[in-house]
Structure 1
Amino acid sequence: MEEILEILEENSRYTDEQIAVMTGKSLEEVRAAIKEYEEKSVIAGYKTLINWENVGKETVTALIEVKITPQRGVGFDSVAERIYKFDHVKACYLMSSGGFDLMVMVEGKSMKEIASFVAEKLSCQEYVNGTATHFVLKKYKEHGTIFKEEKTDDREAIFI
């Protein structure tokens, strides 16, 4: 049944009927499997990946390295939880690197908004020892999807 998960991960818009055909399973088997995956939080949610640049919406994304002091008994988890609950935070990962502990992805309307978030909310958190902010200049690929710009040729044809 892992095949169903792989299909949904690739494109969550496939219908149960399409998945049944793709896997050779019955419609009832597919629906039961998906329901069970949702109940067990194997399927944690369904998201649509949008290329906001093509809509004209200005957003700024930053990856922030966060160095923290782990807490006795809970390690990094309680600090990470306080951080990932902020609305600006889109992703938060515990890293194995010795240079920093958490990688936090944030989004905002401007660099100034993200800088304010880092200064006023993130870096002043108890147990946060330091941050390093890296602004994303261009997205080429995200969650397996390539953001390809359609190149148009604006040159006029000249016939001789």
Structure 2
Amino acid sequence: MQLEGLIAYLVSQKDVCGKKAMQKLVYFCSEAGVLISARYRMYIYGPYSNEVAEELVDAISDGIVKVDNNGFFSKGINCDKYLEQYKSDIELNVNKIDKVLKTFGDFSPSSLELYATVHFIASSKKHAYGQVGEVVINDVIKAKGRKFTPEQIKDAYNDLVNQGWLAQE
């Protein structure tokens, strides 16, 4: 699915609170199985994709997305045109995208950062070493310093497991 189509659908469903939140929602869409051309790496605020950042700039200039004075992204004047253009891709992926919006759509940017970071590190560790659990929690603490408490990290990890975003140990 083209990123501009995904971004158009996301803002057509709800206003998104800033770049960080948009990055994380697109990340979780990818993790839910929406095939997009974006590579993620760990960055200051969790998983980050240059491709998503560049596409968001283009989406603003193309009128897919508009930004208000508080940094919220909402439907731009050309959003409906892009929704129509990518209608078939959206229909193929709507259940996956809506799952992301249902689970994470009302999260603050900070909570999205926490959950996406926990998910990214847990997925990387599981893939590379088969390790999860305490190792992941310790790595998130190392990556985030004092930004989140160990309890917040454990709660996010457990929520992701309980909601099926991470495998049970």
| TM-score, scaled to structure 2 | 0.22
More strand by share: 1
Question: If you compute each CA radius of gyration, which structure gives the higher value, 1 or 2?
Answer: 1
More helix by share: 2
